[in-house]
Amino acid sequence: MLTTIPFPLTLMAATVLVACSVTAQPMFPAGSPPSSCLDVVELQDAGLDLKLAATTLQGLVNRGPESKIYLQLAEWDAFWLERLKEKGLIAEARTLSPVSLFEKYRDTYDRVIVYDPALPATINIATMMASLKDAVAAWPDHEAWISAGKQIEDLRGRWKTNVAAYEWAFETLWPKMNQRILACYHPTATQHHMRDYFVRNRVFHCWVTGEEQQAGERSNHAAERAFLERLLAAAPVNTPVLGFWYSGLDRGMDEYRGAGVAGEYGKLTIPCDWTTNLSVLSGAIVDTGPMVAAYRRRLAEGRRDYPSDRVYICHSIVESGDAPSYLQSRQYRIWQDPARGGIPINWAMGPGIFELAPLVAAHYFETATPNDYLFMALSGAAYCHPYRNFMKRTANLETGWQDYLALTAAYMRRMGCNEMVLYTDAWRPYVRAQQDPVTQRFTASIQDLQTIVLGMGRDDGMGALNGNYWLGSPPVLVSHVLTRWPVDYAERTREENIAWQVEAIREQTPSERPAFLMVMALSWAFDPKDIVEVHRRLGAEYEALTIPQFNEAFRQYHPPSSEGATDAETL
């Protein structure tokens, strides 16, 4: 039964027109196109110090008219190198040793910036200095072939604390750097994978030591967080923050606090701390437009009639796809699962990949089956928490929101989809009287939006009987995720995780038919074969749908009372 709950539409029509009229600019600069012959250096098993010197050199060289260096830093680099060849973006790859690499490109850099091992923050400082001074960053006892004939700038003993080093960098380096990109990046935890991109694009980056890892005056969480907030306030609104907020070695700000604080200052999180060779991949231009169009044409079409005795279910991967790191590393392996395509699975994708690594985006659209539905990830143009004081600390909250929505709408058109997922507030109680005005920002400002998936896991108070409703004018289907995941999923066996998911879905299934369930399968715990097995165990009563099919089925049984309604209708 449908009940109508009126909520005031907080965005005036004029505001919507302004939001939609903004010309959205790309979030990331394009790289230089790769040379027909790339120099490839195997560094997967190399030490961190050699990786530091090599990635900073790579950034300098690839800043030229062509990208010339490709480093094999991780096992996935070989896969994407082959894709570059398949696409005809390079003709060959020539293997060089590290020594040969530095000999060949010796004229690219004038000096070597030596970091202070007693103060790891100086690795970030050295990288930023290298980006401005045509230098490479290195450790004190580096090999002679790195610095032979070069000027040495030694940072040892220069600062006593991390925050002092970052404050110096802010006063001295920040005015000369790209102020449209920031990064939160642990000095060592991610093995320097992104430093080529930082150097090429002069990206200011810092790290906030976690409260558990801080050590006396040298590393102080509160002081470093205060510096971070000063940096966030200084950059323009809707600036992306690369890297991530925590690492395996140091909890840092942690994801929830980091993304939340950044959002208050209008900054957008792009989780890509483990990405590699972005200085090459961002320049490997692929025309994704025809690929996206061809993909949309071959999608499984929605049915005009849906039987009334079914439980209609969307198996959705709503998280991780926002992270270029995930798309480059884990998802390409998941994509090779022969079970993929067996049933409809919905895959969230962050649009930043179209600029950071268009080759990666193209791979998924080209190889998706009709049962693989690609839609926009958390929470639109980039990962943020729209319901947690988003834009609160900006100079003009409404302008920040308008520009973000325009950016999201532009990327949605590029992806060719009409569906997106929004992060709510980490399984906390969901109160529609408080939250609907935020949701309505999206329904009112994004033309052709048809479905919003809400939540990265079930929020308290939401279930199958109140978790699907129409909102806005024209009406948009809002569908809440109704499952979570076991916090100890990594310690569980495959069988245990599958059984847990089946039980969680059954617990949320109401007695009424037809029923409609939006569920998530945690990306780190479930491959396609696991999701297919979950669905098999649920039984024939459950029918898996893509999100557009889900919208169509729900509309068949619960049509909005009026296509021009501005209130909310809830099952």
Residue pLDDT, tens place only, 363-375: 999 999 999 999 9
Residue pLDDT, tens place only, 499-536: 999 999 999 999 999 999 999 999 999 999 999 999 99
Can you give the pLDDT at residue 49?
A: 97
- Pairwise CA distance, residues 241 & 561, whole Å: 42
Can you give the pLDDT at residue 322?
A: 97
Backbone torsions φ then ψ of 500, nearest 5 degrees: -60, -45
Amino acid at 229: E
Counting residues of the chain whose pLDDT is more than 70, the rounded percentage is: 94
The model's confidence at residue 14, banded by pLDDT at 50, 70 and 90, is very low
* Token reading at 343: 């049933």
- Pairwise CA distance, residues 455 & 156, whole Å: 47
- Pairwise CA distance, residues 319 & 542, whole Å: 23
Residue 470 reports pLDDT greater than 80? yes
The model's confidence at residue 12, banded by pLDDT at 50, 70 and 90, is very low
Taking all residues of the chain, what is their mean pLDDT, rounded to a whole number? 93
Closest CA to 306 of 532, 548, 537, 35: 548
Q: Is the dihedral of CA 187, 193, 194, 200 positive or negative?
A: positive
The model's confidence at residue 195, banded by pLDDT at 50, 70 and 90, is very high
Residue pLDDT, tens place only, 500-510: 999 999 999 99
Compute CA distances 49 → 46, 61, 131, 383, whole Å. Answer: 8, 19, 17, 31
Rounded to an integer, the average pLDDT of 315-330 is 97
- Give domain limits for the chain: 3-24+301-570, 35-281
Residue 17 reports pLDDT greater than 50? no
Rounded to an integer, the average pLDDT of 343-353 is 98
Counting residues of the chain whose pLDDT is more than 90, the rounded percentage is: 92
The model's confidence at residue 216, banded by pLDDT at 50, 70 and 90, is confident
Can you give the pLDDT at residue 562?
A: 63
Residue pLDDT, tens place only, 89-148: 999 999 999 999 999 999 999 999 999 999 999 999 999 999 999 999 999 999 999 999
Q: Name the DSSP class of 418.
A: S
Rounded to an integer, the average pLDDT of 395-410 is 98
Can you give the pLDDT at residue 302?
A: 75
CATH number 3.40.30.10 given to 3-24+301-570: no
What's the distance, Cα to Cα, between the start and end of the chain in Å? 6
Q: Please give the helix or strand (H or E) that residue 179 lies within, else none.
A: strand 178-184
Rounded to an integer, the average pLDDT of 565-571 is 45
Q: Which of 83-87, 304-308, 400-404 has the lowest mean pLDDT?
A: 304-308
